[in-house]
Chains A and B, each alone.
Chain A
Amino acid sequence: MIKLFKVKEKQRELAENANGKPPIKKQSAGELRLHKDISELNLPKTCSISFPNGKDDLMNFEVTIRPDDGYYMGGTFVFSFSISSIYPHEAPKVKCKTKVYHPNIDLEGNVCLNILREDWKPVLNINTIIYGLYHLFTEPNHEDPLNHEAAAVLSDNPSMFESNVRRAMSGGYVGQTYFQRCM
């Protein structure tokens, strides 16, 4: 089907032309889609984004959330995002870098947010995830616990939960666990 032998020389020529150019950085389809997501970000004033590796690495970035309402008001929480080359087929990998006393975030920074795992769909985007994370701080929920103790306290004794959150955010122990100040 292909005219192999007539095209042979031509291919070589094309290759040589390409070789004359500076080394090509390949941009994956995932990067292009991410470029769209990032260029359309519309964040609430409580959330900001930064790119530790500079403007040309969008695949790794950090999102800082400063809740202005709820138990976590006044705290500053940093999340790292790592995006794969087959994004959005695969969800971003998100970790909470700030140690936080939270029913849905464990002490290693794992986050239980449905759209990060079982409910991720390629139509969702980075904006959706950031809103989802923000929502975890305004509405922590004890039904999807990742930090079992925190979830139990939230469910049984909300006012104690509130004071535990305050103590953790101002830097101190909750039970055996030390939390660094994040206010």
Chain B
Amino acid sequence: MADSIPQSRSRDLDKLLLRPGNLVGPTFEAGSQLRDDIKECVRVLVIGAGGLGCELLKDLAFSGFQNLEVIDMDRIEVTNLNRQFLFRIGDVGKPKAEVAAKRVMERVSGVDIKSHFCRIEDKPISFYNDFHIIVLGLDSIEARSYINSVACSFLEYDSDDIPQEESIKPMVDGGTEGFKGHARIIMPGVTPCFECTIWLFPPQVKFPLCTLAETPRTAAHCIEYAHLIKWDEAHSGKTFDPDDPEHMQWVYSEAVKRAELFGIPGVTYSLTQGVVKNIIPAIASTNAIISAACALETLKVVSGCSKTLTNYLTYNGVEGLHTKVTEFVRDKDCLVCGPGVLIELEASVTLKKFIDLLEDHPKLLLTRVSVTYRGKNLYMQAPPVLEEMTRSNLDLPLFELMGKTPRDIVHVTGAAGKGDKKQSCSRKLRVIFKGMVGVTDMDMAGGA
């Protein structure tokens, strides 16, 4: 395998990309141009260089992508080595993204992988817009939610609420927990975004604090007692850092004492880490299966060489094997990926007048409206302390309050409907100021 012949490297890929077929996507254009473009032009961002990330980088590099970037904030730990196969014992302590990129580049000629050793929030939003597709190998809801909101922020709708194709930033999201995993495609504006289906995630298990304090029954109870209650008692004001081995060791030894007191077996250092950091044992093969699905879907989204998964694959290997694809639907009112209600205004309209307009708007009929714009609360109906602080904005033109931005998203909350059927709700609005929109923007609004 190590001495593969260069000319034959894309032979199998060529069978997919150079020939027309009956099962291809609607925009598929077979030919060597497509193959070369995938190599030379397509830019793929992999988020996470852990269990899934290592697999993804390898799979994508072997699938003909040559311009890859990878971002990960973690350093390599000994416990990663059983499945994060790009890492060796001598790499422990080094940034995952850097080592993973280097190893794949050493192994696959022609591939260029740029690594970013930082938090995803550290990159400017524009960084993410530079990629044609984003592949996610993450282990947290927070990080997925963040990337989803970034990708959806590039999405533009035309005046008929149709998403503009060129503004769609596709994402392929993989995730595993032990024997279980999922792979999904998110085409913002077309398929449900992460926020549309956030209810799919089961709630985290949280033990009642009084159980921990009074009637512990399991090893996990003892660990959480040490972590959540004992730590604060012993270290006034010092925050617990789960990545600090000394902190973890302290929690472990306190948990052991607690367990001895109540005669509970089973507290170990690795269980302590698992409970405190919410770690679920990862299985190399589950990562491999899910990553393979994600890499293949990435190739299909980019090339159109086959129809893509619609839109959520679940894999369960706990007992036998079960796998299924479900077509989830979008939340049409999703605050993150939905079109929102288009509202055209004169630049002179005050915030007060704007709020009044929403009451009469046929698609809104909103009363008791509060308004927020890019993290600034322009007007709050309640509580009184915020109402007072924002009241003076009511007489100012909305255009000024929005920093003279000619078109942008504004979020409002209020009560919708009439009489007894009033329901509280949040709405996304696409506000456009007449006569303020530049030429390029006009072009976009037309849905070119």
Interface residues of A (CB under 8 A from B): 1-8, 10-11, 13-15, 17-19, 21-33, 35-36, 38-43, 48-51, 54-56, 58, 84-86, 89-91, 104, 106-112, 114, 117-118, 120-122, 144-146, 148
Contacts and interface: CB of A to CB of B under 8 A. Distances in A.
Given A4-B41, A43-B383, A29 B149 contact: yes
Nearest to B389: A55
Interface in B97-137: 124-126, 129-130, 132-133
Given A1-B26, A55-B386, A36 B424 contact: yes
Q: Chain A interface mostly helix, strand, loop or mixed?
A: loop
B275 to A, nearest CB: 15
Most buried by B among A2, A14, A55, A84: A2
Interface string B21-43: 00001110000000001000110
Contact of B146 (A28, A58, A121, A148): A28
- Sorted nearest first, the 3 A-B pairs with minimum C-beta distance are A39-B370, A7-B166, A144-B210
Contacts of B210: 104, 112, 144-146
Q: Chain B interface mostly helix, strand, loop or mixed?
A: mixed
A18 B126 contact: yes
A27 B372 contact: yes
A38 B42 contact: no
Given A7-B165, A85-B146, A106 B132 contact: no
Interface stretch (B48-56, B301-309, B318-326): B301-309
A4 B141 contact: no
23 contacts: A1-B308, A2-B133, A4-B37, A4-B41, A10-B448, A11-B167, A14-B444, A18-B154, A24-B153, A26-B149, A28-B146, A31-B375, A35-B413, A35-B426, A48-B383, A85-B142, A85-B146, A107-B233, A110-B209, A111-B209, A118-B206, A118-B207, A146-B213
A122 B198 CA distance: 11
Nearest to A122: B199
B204 interface: yes
Contact of A38 (B199, B380, B389): B380
A14 B126 contact: no
Given A39-B382, A145-B213, A14 B302 contact: no
B381 interface: yes
Nearest to B236: A108
Nearest to B228: A110
Interface of B: 25-27, 37, 41-42, 124-126, 129-130, 132-133, 141-142, 145-146, 149-150, 153-154, 156, 165-168, 170, 195, 198-199, 201, 203-204, 206-210, 213-214, 228-229, 232-233, 300-302, 304, 308, 335-336, 370, 372, 374-377, 380-383, 385-386, 389-390, 403, 405, 411, 413-414, 424-426, 440-441, 444, 448
Given A14-B156, A26-B150, A2 B377 contact: no
A26 B165 contact: no
Contact of A114 (B126, B156, B167, B208): B208
Contacts of B233: 107-108
Contact of B382 (A14, A26, A40): A40
Contacts of A15: 126, 129-130
Given A17-B441, A19-B126, A27 B426 contact: no
